[in-house]
Structure 1
Amino acid sequence: MSLDVTLQTDPGAISDDPVMEARRQIEICNACRYCEGFCAVFPAITRDKVFADGDITQLANLCHNCRGCYYACQYTAPHEFDLNLPAALAEARVDSWERLAWPGGLARIFQKHGMAMAALLVLATAVMFWAIAALPGGGAGFYAWLSHGAMVAIFLPAFLLPLVAIGVGLRRYWREVGGAPVTLTQLRGAVLSAGRMKNLSGGQGQGCNFETEERFSDARRHVHQAVMYGFLLCFGATASGTVMHYLFAMPAPYGLLSLPKLLGVPGGLLMVAGTAGMIALKRRADPALGAQGRSSGESAFIWLLGFVALTGLVLYALRDTALTGALLALHLGGVLTLFLLTPYSKMAHGFYRFAALIRDQQTAGKG
């Protein structure tokens, strides 16, 4: 197959700048169009001939790194074009998270030193909770170790401030990609796409090639869905407990058949299974097809999610034992760390990717 479209950049001029390199490769893909049906990225590419920086940011966050396009491409190394679109878009995607994060600089530090940063923060906050729990207090269940008032005073700012930071980053993203006011139809389309994660099913719905070149699998989509729905169930458990506490004067602890536990226990199990699956898949995947030098941040995020879910389940199983205080401190330390690092970890990618899906709905409607 020959390229029959004039390229705006030199197809062989590899750049160290992630946006420039992604633009070079996208222009070649737009000229070739062999992978047009692989995922949402390729139809989006064909809607333009010239790609501004905001277009590259949008395409990078629309990419799910399923890697099928790489294994199907005829222009990968040793061809002179040396295409590796999954890696190029991964580099541009991480660059966008780091640039758009607020305050600036923290995302870059976490992406490079995530494991050490998360571990130290978990331990430091766990020691803080252990010290607070040693103070005289009262209450039933976990409140015997840490009062409800103390939990609210600590976790409410730790929950709201990261949301503000994410909101600032999303506002910057929306401006950069040229986003327009969102309609209910566009929002519905993005929600359905995110819920099914159809872009992780490959171009023909047979699965993606994340682990190996020859093997098509839906395993990555399934573990992502387990983590996402598990997290939503756990969030629902917390929200329902808050409603029961403040509106119905029903404070914790709650029984196994209560709404918080009916949501939280399955949610925790899904998160543990999903994060374990993600770790296993990443160990079998080719690291050259992802963002280089950022594996620590990505691994830290997955381990942190799994740690929070696992310690929550163990804490519930071993409640009212001699281990309750130490387990509670570790669990709350993990939860607080997860909240504080959300705008700078890969947790933020869920927000950016959802915004990219909405923007894709808008541009597709213009096509």
Structure 2
Amino acid sequence: MQADLLQEARRQAEICNACRYCEGYCSVFPALHAERAFSDGDLTQLANLCHNCRGCYYACQYTAPHEFDLNLPRALAEVRQDSWEDFAFPRAGARAFQKSGVMIALATVLGFALMFWAARTLGSVGGEGFYAVLSHNAMVAIFLPAFVFPMLSIAISLRRYWRAVGAGPLRLAHLRTALVSAARMKNLSGGHGDGCNFEDEDRFSSARRLAHQAVMYGFLLCFASTSTATVMHYALAMPAPYPLWSLPKLLGLSGGVMMTLGCIEMIRLKRRADPALGAASALGGEIGFVGLLGFVGLSGLVLYALGQTALMPLLLALHLGAVLAFFLLTPFTKMAHGFYRLAALVVDAGR
């Protein structure tokens, strides 16, 4: 990790530790105030606990033009971003995506879409619906490795993180506490529950927390839809296509709507926020990831709406290309931050 980023974060953390005005704002400050000195691992843990709500910055009396020039949200954001790149496996993928996230996401989606469009010539024999374009076995052969790779990559990354912050043995009670906190997005609600100042200094809003929840729960619903369809196909001998009122369709459509709207709102909020309070160099990567995830949801909804038209093969190629790009790029995008954040909450629960 870059020593200058850690040194600046250490300087600011030491001043905050002496001041303690923001003690009740979020999980960062009780953890920060529990230390007298800050190792590189301590700073990495604090950075991944921070949700960049920015409330502490707007409340701080030591921001510029004060000589202390505190900007803790930016300092922690830069350490956090650098830690994700350093822990990623392989590291080169994360660094490349943060520099050119939008272009990489776009090129990957289009490249995979063209691959699926070409593969339709190998389509199934006598398949129905989407399987008339690409067989079920072909989809499994393509997407199973694409799912296993990011899980393996993220597992390696989390192991590196766990060692770097000096975490102890994983305990179920700590994991349960962290999952409850993540499900509620507690640290995005502000120290007093009125929301955070992400959009505007004087405006407390829960919009960012709600957008994150829409994306998270929308994604989980879509994953549940795929999992349910897998069980129905293999265990119950009920292959797709499924009717509208089937469980896979209900889960997938509701999840797709939530995920799409949540991503649109997150992009809107990011464009309204002050870039000087975050890791400005990572903005392209963040927009690229959120846009890719939103396109996965949107393309799935459009595919369902127009699945009985002549556009279906083209829409299916685009959707599958987006899904495959999303899975393969997950370890290098901000999608990985959810795993790091959960790990940080587990470590904090054991503090």
**Cα distance in 2, alignment partners of residues 137 and 239 from structure 1:** 22
**Cα distance in 2, alignment partners of residues 25 and 37 from structure 1:** 18
Which residue type is aligned with residue 40 of structure 1? Answer: S
Asked if 1:279 is matched to 2:267, the reply is yes
Decide whether the 8 Å contact of 2:123 with 2:135 is kept in 1. no
**Cα distance in 2, alignment partners of residues 282 and 326 from structure 1:** 31
Which residue type is aligned with residue 173 of structure 1? Answer: Y
Of 210-219 and 18-27, the range deviating more from structure 2: 18-27
Which whole-Å deviations, capped at 9, do the CAs of 1:172-202 have from their partners, x for residues lacking one? 0001111112222111110110000010011
Which residue, out of 226, 249, 265, partners 2:237?
Answer: 249
Aligned to 1:156: 144
Which residue type is aligned with residue 320 of structure 1? Answer: Q
Decide whether the 8 Å contact of 2:123 with 2:131 is kept in 1. no
Which residue type is aligned with residue 81 of structure 1? Answer: F
Q: Which runs of 4+ in 1 moved over 4 A?
A: none
Which residue, out of 303, 313, 316, partners 1:328?
Answer: 316
Aligned to 1:89: 76
Which residue type is aligned with residue 256 of structure 1? Answer: L
Which whole-Å deviations, capped at 9, do the CAs of 1:70-105 have from their partners, x for residues lacking one? 000011001111111100000000000000001122
SS class of match (2:86): helix
- How far 1:16 sits from its partner (Å)? 7.5
Which residue type is aligned with residue 199 of structure 1? Answer: N
Give the unaligned 5+ runs of structure 2. none
Aligned to 1:9: none
Q: Percentage identity across aligned positions?
A: 66
- How far 1:19 sits from its partner (Å)? 1.3
Give the unaligned 5+ runs of structure 1. 1-14
**Cα distance in 2, alignment partners of residues 215 and 76 from structure 1:** 19
**Cα distance in 2, alignment partners of residues 201 and 234 from structure 1:** 26
Aligned to 1:52: 39
Decide whether the 8 Å contact of 2:289 with 2:334 is kept in 1. yes
Which whole-Å deviations, capped at 9, do the CAs of 1:150-170 have from their partners, x for residues lacking one? 101110001101110000000
**Cα distance in 2, alignment partners of residues 244 and 137 from structure 1:** 20
Which residue, out of 314, 318, 342, partners 1:354?
Answer: 342
Decide whether the 8 Å contact of 2:150 with 2:331 is kept in 1. yes
**Cα distance in 1, alignment partners of residues 167 and 272 from structure 2:** 37
SS class of match (2:198): coil
SS class of match (1:293): helix
**Cα distance in 1, alignment partners of residues 252 and 280 from structure 2:** 35
SS class of match (1:264): helix
- TM-score scaled to structure 1, two decimals? 0.94
Which whole-Å deviations, capped at 9, do the CAs of 1:113-144 have from their partners, x for residues lacking one? 00011100100000000001133533011000
**Cα distance in 1, alignment partners of residues 320 and 123 from structure 2:** 19
SS class of match (2:199): coil
- How far 1:257 sits from its partner (Å)? 1.0
Aligned to 1:22: 9
Aligned to 2:158: 170
Asked if 1:226 is matched to 2:191, the reply is no
Which residue, out of 306, 322, 339, partners 1:318?
Answer: 306
Which residue, out of 312, 317, 328, partners 1:340?
Answer: 328
Asked if 1:211 is matched to 2:203, the reply is no
Which residue type is aligned with residue 334 of structure 2? Answer: K
1:11-160 map, 5 Å:
17-138=4-125, 139-160=127-148
Residues 362 and 242 of structure 1: CA distance in aligned 2, closer, same or farther (over 3 Å): same
**Cα distance in 2, alignment partners of residues 268 and 189 from structure 1:** 28
Which whole-Å deviations, capped at 9, do the CAs of 1:297-326 have from their partners, x for residues lacking one? 000000001000000001011112100000
**Cα distance in 1, alignment partners of residues 3 and 89 from structure 2:** 25
Asked if 1:201 is matched to 2:189, the reply is yes
**Cα distance in 1, alignment partners of residues 123 and 211 from structure 2:** 43
- TM-score scaled to structure 2, two decimals? 0.98
**Cα distance in 1, alignment partners of residues 39 and 124 from structure 2:** 59
**Cα distance in 2, alignment partners of residues 65 and 100 from structure 1:** 20
Matched positions, count: 349
- How far 1:147 sits from its partner (Å)? 0.3
**Cα distance in 2, alignment partners of residues 128 and 154 from structure 1:** 11
Decide whether the 8 Å contact of 2:123 with 2:134 is kept in 1. no
Greater percentage in helix? 2
**Cα distance in 1, alignment partners of residues 205 and 327 from structure 2:** 32
SS class of match (1:216): strand
SS class of match (1:211): strand
Which whole-Å deviations, capped at 9, do the CAs of 1:268-298 have from their partners, x for residues lacking one? 0000110011011111100000102111100
**Cα distance in 2, alignment partners of residues 92 and 113 from structure 1:** 19
